Chains A and B, each alone.
Chain A
Amino acid sequence: MFMQLLANGLIAGAIYALIAAGFSLIYKTNKFVHFAHGSVIVAGGYLLYLFYSLIGINFWISVILTIISTALVGLLLNYIVYAKLRERKASPTIMLIASVGLLILIESLVLLIFSADAKTIGFLKVAKGISLFGAIITPLQIVIIITAILLLGFLLWLMKNSSLGKAMRAVSDDKNLSEVLGINTKKIYNYSFIIGSAIAGIAGILVALEQNLEPSMGSNLMIKGFTGAIIGGVSSVPGAILGAFLLGIVENFGIWFLPSGYKDAIAFGLLFIFLLFKPDGLLGIKKGIKK
């Protein structure tokens, strides 16, 4: 039982971590909550369904097309809405409300196009679980965990070592100083949306393979990613990843004590505990957090 719950927690945590990492990357650079990130994930799942299940394109090409499309969706959101708001010196709260509007907009478009019926991507036939340290895990779930770890590792490396990552951190630390130093902040904002949304697309693909797709799942996924990010320390990508895994594990162990319907409630119980006692998150990074 213990190992099974731990495994389930790690699998949920891997998906939350992908969401939280993309979200945190955008938050760190742009300094506002991009809530529509959740609907980009859902769009990713449905785009895979469109390319692979409806049109019938080869699976791996569909995956690549999906990732490119979600990156473009993110870029477009920034270009059409956020850049305009930024020009008008909108406050982060206004940006947050606009992003909730975008979330509803994309969710409703998905609902309009694909209808409310749950969709499944029939790529992987239901495979028999493998017993691993006393927990039963499907091959897909192993793929999810490995993909997440590889991708998150790559993202951390990118943020730390590449010149783009350095520029992003510079903009995050001090936007005006970065501009003085010749960093094109507009371009950095665009890149943060491209990378963050591409990761959201990958999260969407994994979600689509693991569960049924429903248009309304975006807000829930987003709130989980956001919660994970806050638990870990929102403006730190490694912190967000750590917090997301913690959230996945706590949520699944909670089912030991409470009916599974309370899963979301447990996640928020954890959030309230952190907000009360450690609002800076696990890694305790104050920088960039509005108090």
Chain B
Amino acid sequence: MISAYLIHVAIIICIDLVLALSLQISIGYAGLLNFGHIAFFGIGAYTSALLTMQGVPWIIALLCAGIIPMFFAYLLSIPTNRLKGDYLALATMGFSFVIYALMLNWNSLTKGPLGIPGITKPIIFGLKISNNLSFLILALVITGLTYSILHKIVKSPFGNLLQATRDDEDAAKALGKNTFKIKTIGLMISAFFAGIAGSLYAHYITFIDPSSFAMMMIIPIVCMIIIGGLASLKGTFFATIILVIIPEILRFVGMPSSILGPARQIIYALILIIILIYQPKGFFGKVVLN
């Protein structure tokens, strides 16, 4: 019983970690204050769920769950590319509202507020991931891959360009770099992995509805990357684990679930505000947003 619960928490940590690491690329490394990231997560979840329902093999659905959000990221980057800070935050929030409205109202595709039940568990080359332990192994593999790929990307020459654009876009432009392209690719990479996280989520919970992808659901993830520190994958790793576990403690002191939800949000909000005041770089952060 306890081990089943621990496996569940570990899977949630993996999913949140992939999502937080992907957000770290856009906010931490590209400096794009992307508050609409949950939309990519949602698009990935719906893509993967709908495709597997049509009989598409899981592994292909997973790839599409990454690629379709990339395409949306490209579209989003066109009107928002000149924007910074406040304006970008609002525009990306707007984007996430539009996607949410589509999920809620495009009944023939998404079944609207009723959501999609009975999403199948992944089948990899005939091997069915039916129990949670094997799902955890799958989630660990995907999380490990995500971490190492993103680590490679941020250490690559492209990663340096991305950070240079974040620190001084005009200087990067003056050196002849196409900052529009750099930022767009950064956002697309970020969206790809958010979509992968979405697919993991959909096939683990086996039910999705629009409420999981409302704009405010991104806040805990933003907390994770701020507390861990911007432009630090390691920081995100530790912060995600800690932030998923802390509210779980409330469950053990016997808090009813109606209080648990808001209490968890209050804890996140308080930690976030205190960190911003006293440790604005987070614990492993290298940069402060300006």
Q: Given the complex, which residues of B lie within 8 Å of A226, measured CB to CB?
A: 90
Known: A101-B269, A105-B270, A105-B273. A259 touches B226 (CB 8 A): no
- Whole-angstrom distance between the alpha carbons of A230 and B82 in the complex? 15
A219 CB–B CB distance under 8 Å: yes
Asked if A88 and B280 sit within 8 Å, CB to CB, the answer is yes
Asked if B277 and A88 sit within 8 Å, CB to CB, the answer is yes
Asked if B266 and A112 sit within 8 Å, CB to CB, the answer is yes
Interface residues of B (CB under 8 A from A): 33, 35, 79-80, 82-87, 89-91, 93-95, 97-98, 100-102, 104-105, 215-216, 219, 222-223, 226, 258-259, 261-263, 265-266, 268-270, 272-273, 276-277, 280, 288-290
22 contacts between A and B (CB under 8 A): A33-B86, A81-B273, A91-B288, A91-B290, A93-B289, A97-B289, A98-B273, A98-B276, A101-B268, A104-B219, A104-B268, A104-B269, A112-B262, A216-B216, A223-B94, A262-B105, A264-B98, A265-B101, A267-B94, A268-B94, A279-B83, A291-B82
Of B82, B215, B216, the most chain A CB neighbours within 10 A belong to B216
- Whole-angstrom distance between the alpha carbons of A187 and B263 in the complex? 34
Which of A54-62, A176-184, A190-198, A270-278 is the contact stretch? A270-278
- 19 more contacts with CB within 8 A, not counting A33-B90, A263-B101, are A91-B288, A92-B85, A92-B290, A94-B276, A96-B89, A98-B277, A100-B35, A101-B268, A101-B276, A102-B273, A104-B269, A108-B265, A216-B216, A265-B97, A265-B98, A267-B97, A268-B95, A290-B85, A290-B87
| Contact for A265 among B82, B102, B259, CB less than 8 A | B102
Q: Given the complex, which residues of A lie within 8 Å of B262, measured CB to CB?
A: 108-109, 111-112
- 3 A-B pairs with least C-beta separation: A268-B94, A261-B105, A105-B269
| Contact for B276 among A33, A90, A268, A291, CB less than 8 A | A90
Query: Which bracket fits the contact residues of A?
Result: 35 or more
A115 CB–B CB distance under 8 Å: yes
Q: Given the complex, which residues of A lie within 8 Å of B261, measured CB to CB?
A: 111
- Whole-angstrom distance between the alpha carbons of A65 and B118 in the complex? 51
Q: Given the complex, which residues of B lie within 8 Å of A88, measured CB to CB?
A: 277, 280
Known: A111-B262, A226-B90, A264-B97. A93 touches B85 (CB 8 A): yes
Q: Given the complex, which residues of B lie within 8 Å of A78, measured CB to CB?
A: none
Closest A residue to B215 by beta carbon equals: A219
Instruction: Give, as a whole number of angstroms, the nearest-CB distance from B135 to chain A.
Output: 30
Asked if B86 and A262 sit within 8 Å, CB to CB, the answer is no
- Whole-angstrom distance between the alpha carbons of A107 and B216 in the complex? 11
CB within 8 Å of B: which A83-126 residues: 84-85, 88, 90-94, 96-98, 100-102, 104-105, 107-109, 111-112, 115-116
Q: Given the complex, which residues of B lie within 8 Å of A223, measured CB to CB?
A: 90, 93-94, 97
Instruction: Give, as a whole number of angstroms, the nearest-CB distance from B3 to chain A.
Output: 31
Asked if B101 and A96 sit within 8 Å, CB to CB, the answer is no
Asked if A290 and B86 sit within 8 Å, CB to CB, the answer is yes
Instruction: Give, as a whole number of angstroms, the nearest-CB distance from B23 to chain A.
Output: 13
Instruction: Give, as a whole number of angstroms, the nearest-CB distance from A220 to chain B.
Output: 8
Of B105, B226, B258, B276, the most chain A CB neighbours within 10 A belong to B276
Closest B residue to A81 by beta carbon equals: B273
Known: A102-B273, A112-B262, A279-B82. A272 touches B94 (CB 8 A): yes
Instruction: Give, as a whole number of angstroms, the nearest-CB distance from A216 to chain B.
Output: 7
Q: Given the complex, which residues of A lie within 8 Å of B85, measured CB to CB?
A: 92-93, 96, 290
Asked if A94 and B280 sit within 8 Å, CB to CB, the answer is yes
- Whole-angstrom distance between the alpha carbons of A267 and B35 in the complex? 17
Q: Given the complex, which residues of A lie within 8 Å of B91, measured CB to CB?
A: 271-272, 275
